[in-house]
Amino acid sequence: MSIQLAIFVSGRGSNMEAILKSIQDGELDASVELVFSNDPHAKALETAKQFGIKTASIANTGLTRSEHENKVRELLETVSFDYIVLAGYMRILSAKFLSHFRDPRGFFRVINIHPSLLPAFPGKCAYEDAFSYGVKVSGITVHLVDEQVDHGAILAQQSFPRLADDTLETFKARGLAVEHALYPAVLREISNNGIKLDNLTRESIET
């Protein structure tokens, strides 16, 4: 079953691009109805336009979170979508905003990717935090968004090793490669089989 997506980005949008390529290559049965950014100058918006995707931006500068989210919600009312996909969106979504996208089964129809094996290393500096801690194994998590930051039911996790000669840059590059494969794969599973509540867990699910 094809799914409709609204993708939220704040920067270059490499995960967004991986999703768009997966759709273009016929690997993911989905359509992206909108790519939205809180930064009008985000590189991801130009990339999305190259794929022929509708884009929009609403700068958050000078707005309260509530004011900004109200404008975003008004924008979303102009498009049809099944899921909001966060792909490097650097804004925390409030419980009030999320409440407008609650599935009848209880979860929010908002999906996020995070560069650690949650619940370890939440926050925006996960790669740096994991590397500084000295982990031997790190990983990537795709999860449903809830009212807490980098929390919510885990859809999939995939680990990758930290090598002895890794720099932070090579460590992050290895993680990004995993991100770019895992996110489209999770969306493909949702497209094929939906979200199975009995498979969701706060514990790790190795893929």
Q: What is the pTM of this model?
A: 0.93
Contact call for residues 207 and 141 (beta carbons, < 8 A): no
- Residue whose C-alpha is closest to residue 162's, from 152, 173, 154: 173
E strand spans, the chain: 3-9, 30-37, 55-57, 83-86, 110-114, 137-144, 154-161
Which residues participate in catalysis according to the annotation?
114
pLDDT in tens, the chain (207 residues): 899 999 999 999 999 999 999 999 999 999 999 999 999 999 999 999 999 999 999 999 999 999 999 999 999 999 999 999 999 999 999 999 999 999 999 999 999 999 999 999 999 999 999 999 999 999 999 999 999 998 999 999 999 999 999 999 999 999 999 999 999 999 999 999 999 876 565 443 333
What is the reported pLDDT for 195? 92
pLDDT at 196: 82
Alpha-carbon distance values, 114 to 99, 134, 146 (Å): 22, 18, 14
Spell out the domains of the chain, with CATH numbers in brackets. Answer: 3-199 (3.40.50.170)
